[in-house]
Structure 1
Amino acid sequence: MKRFTLRTGIRWKITIAIAAVGALITLALSLVVHSAARVSMLESARETQLDRVQYISRNAEAGRKPPMGAKLNDPELPQELRDKARSGRRGTYVQEKPRGLPEVWAAVPLGNGQVLSLHSQFRESANMMRDLDRALAIGSLAVVIGGSALGVLIGGQISRRLRQAAAAAGKVALGDPDVRVRDAVGGVVRDETDDLARAVDAMADALQQRLEAERRVTADIAHELRTPVTGLLTAAELLPPGRPTELVRDRAQAMRVLVEDVLEVARLDSASERAELQDVALGEFVARRVSALMPEASVRIVADEIVSTDPRRLERILGNLLANAGRYGKPPVQVDVEGRVVRVRDHGPGFPEALLREGPSRFRTGSTDRAGVGHGLGLTIAEGQARVLGARLTFRNVAGPGGTDREGAAAGAVAVLWLPEHAPTTTGSFPVIGVP
Structure 2
Amino acid sequence: MRGNSRRRVPSFLDRAGIRTGLRWKLSAAIALVGTLVAIALSLVVHNAARVSMLDNARDLADERVQIAQRNYELSGRPNFPSIKINDPSLPAALREKVEEGRRATYVTDRPHGVPDIWAAVPLKDGRVLSLHTGFTDRSTDILKDLDQALVIGSIAAVLGGSALGVLIGGQLSRRLRKAAAAANQVAKGETDVRVRDAIGGVVRDETDDLARAVDAMTDALQQRLDAERRVTADIAHELRTPVTGLLTAAELLPPGRPTELVLDRAKAMRTLVEDVLEVARLDGASERAELQDLMLGEFVSRRVLAKNPDAMVHVVHESVVTTDPRRLERVLFNLLANAARHGKPPIEVSVEGRVIRVRDHGPGFPEELLAEGPSRFRTGSKDRAGHGHGLGLTIAAGQARVLGARLTFRNVRPAGAPDHIPAEGAVAVLWLPEHAPTSTGSYPMLP
Partner of 1:405: 420
Match of 2:91 in 1: 78
Tell whether 2:21 aligns with 1:9. Answer: yes
Farther-moved stretch of structure 1 (265-274 vs 81-90): 81-90
Match of 1:137 among 151, 156, 160: 151
1:174 corresponds to: 188
2:61 aligned with 1:49: yes
* Contact map agreement 2:61 2:131 (CA 8 A) in 1: no
Letter in 2 for 1:172: V
Structure 1: distance between partners of 2:69 and 2:34: 52
Structure 2: distance between partners of 1:66 and 1:339: 112
Instruction: Please give the alpha-carbon distance, in whole angstroms, between the structure 1 residues aligned to 2:166 and 2:314.
Output: 54
Range 136-145 or range 336-345, more displaced: 336-345
Which residue identity does 1:61 align to in structure 2?
A: E
Aligned match of 1:434: none
- Per-residue CA shift, 1:210-260, capped at 9, x if unaligned? 111111122222223334444555555566655455444433332332222
Q: 2:353 matched to 1:346?
A: no
Q: Which residue of structure 1 aligns with residue 341 of structure 2?
A: 327
In structure 1, which of residues 414, 429, 432 is the aligned counterpart of residue 427 of structure 2?
414
DSSP 3-state at the match of 1:397: strand
Alignment of 1:297-316 (within 5 A): 297-299=311-313, 310-316=324-330
Displacement of 1:369 after TM fit?
Answer: 2.2
CA separation in 1, counterparts of 2:81 and 2:297?
107
Q: Distance in 1 between matches of 2:229 and 2:196?
A: 27
1 CA distance for matches of 2:290 and 2:139?
87
CA contact (8 A) 2:116 2:132 kept: no
The answer to whether the Cα contact below 8 Å between 2:403 and 2:440 also exists between their aligned partners in 1 is: no
Q: 1:104-135: CA deviations, max 9, x gaps?
A: 22233334414332212353222222222223
Q: Which amino acid aligns with 2:392?
A: G
Cα drift, residue 327 of structure 1? 0.8
Give the alignment partner of residue 158 of structure 1, picking from 157, 165, 172.
Answer: 172
2:218 maps to 1:208: no
Residue 311 of structure 1 deviates from its aligned partner by: 4.8
SS at match of 2:141: helix
Contact 1:53/1:118, CA 8 A, preserved across alignment: no
Question: Is 1:349–1:370's contact at 8 Å kept on the other side of the alignment?
Answer: yes
The answer to whether structure 1 residue 377 and structure 2 residue 384 are counterparts is no
The aligned amino acid for 2:387 is: V
Normalised by the size of structure 1, how large is the TM-score? 0.83
Corresponding position of 1:258: 272
1:328 Cα deviation after fit: 0.5
Give the deviation of 1:376 after TM superposition: 0.7
- From the superposition, tell whether residues 150 and 278 of structure 1 become closer, same or farther in structure 2 (CA, over 3 Å): farther
Q: Deviations over 1:294-319 (max 9, x none)?
A: 44334556677776655544443333
Structure 2: which amino acid aligns with 1:376?
Answer: G
Partner amino acid, structure 2, of 1:47: D
CA distance in 2, matches of 1:269, 1:136: 68
2:287 alignment partner in structure 1: 273
| 1:110 corresponds to 2:123 | yes
Q: Structure 2: how far apart are the matches of 1:197 and 1:298?
A: 52
* Alpha carbons 2:378, 2:390 under 8 Å: kept: yes
Q: Offset at 1:362? A: 1.1
**DSSP-derived class of the 2:54 partner:** helix
Q: Distance in 1 between matches of 2:37 and 2:296?
A: 67
Shift of the 302–122 alpha-carbon distance from structure 1 to 2, 3 Å rule, reads farther
Structure 2: distance between partners of 1:424 and 1:152: 44
Secondary structure at 1:332's aligned position in 2? coil
- Deviation sequence 1:128-177 (CA, Å, 0-9, x none): 22222223223323332333333233323322332332233233333334
SS at match of 2:439: coil
1:370 partner SS: coil
1:92 matched to 2:105: yes
Distance verdict in 2 for CA 1:77–1:348, change over 3 Å: same
**1:308, 1:423 within 8 Å by CA — same for their partners in 2?**
yes
Letter in 2 for 1:168: A
Q: Is the 8 A contact 1:110 1:116 kept in 2?
A: no
Asked if the contact 1:74–1:117 (Cα under 8 Å) also holds between the matched residues in 2, the reply is no
- Residues 155, 242 of structure 1: alpha-carbon distance in 2 compared, 3 angstrom cutoff: same
Q: Is contact 1:267–1:273 with CA below 8 Å preserved after alignment?
A: yes
SS at match of 1:98: coil
What residue ranges of structure 2 are gaps of 5+ in the alignment? 1-6, 443-447
Gaps of 5+ in 1: 430-436
